[in-house]
Amino acid sequence: MGNVDVAELNVRRWCTDYLARSLKLPANQIDPQARFARLGMDSAMSVFFLVELEEWLGVELASEVVFDYPSIAELARYVATKFPQAAAAPGRK
């Protein structure tokens, strides 16, 4: 498994867990292909989501990233490609 694969999987897991906690849903009910809005994420929630994702990764993301990559799968792929080291080993700055 390559660094990007591990990184993408880590980001997918983090996003799924975050949304499951925030939306009070079992993680297995979070579809990684579904658009964030369809899952119930509004603009206020997206701000908190982005701040926590940045803290977890230790990188800065553009504020529009959640809208440019509007699903867990798309966002994870983007983050893993752009920040492979941070996503492969989050929390290590």
Predicted confidence (pLDDT) per residue in 50-59, tens digit = 999 999 999 9
For 9-21, the pLDDT digits (tens) are 999 999 999 999 9
Question: Class assignment of domain 3-88?
Answer: mainly alpha
Residue 6 has pLDDT above 80, yes or no: yes
Question: pLDDT band at 88, cuts 50/70/90?
Answer: confident
Q: Can you tell me the distance from the alpha carbon of 1 to that of 92, in angstroms, rounded to the nearest whole number?
A: 20
Interaxial angle between packed helices 43-57 and 3-23, expressed in degrees from 0 to 180 and rounded to the nearest 10:
140
What are the structural domain ranges in the chain?
A: 3-88
88: three-class secondary structure by DSSP: helix
Phi, psi of 71 (to 5 degrees): -145, 165
Question: What is the distance, to the nearest Å, from the Cα of residue 65 to the centroid of all Cα atoms in its chain?
Answer: 10
Q: What is the pTM of this model?
A: 0.91
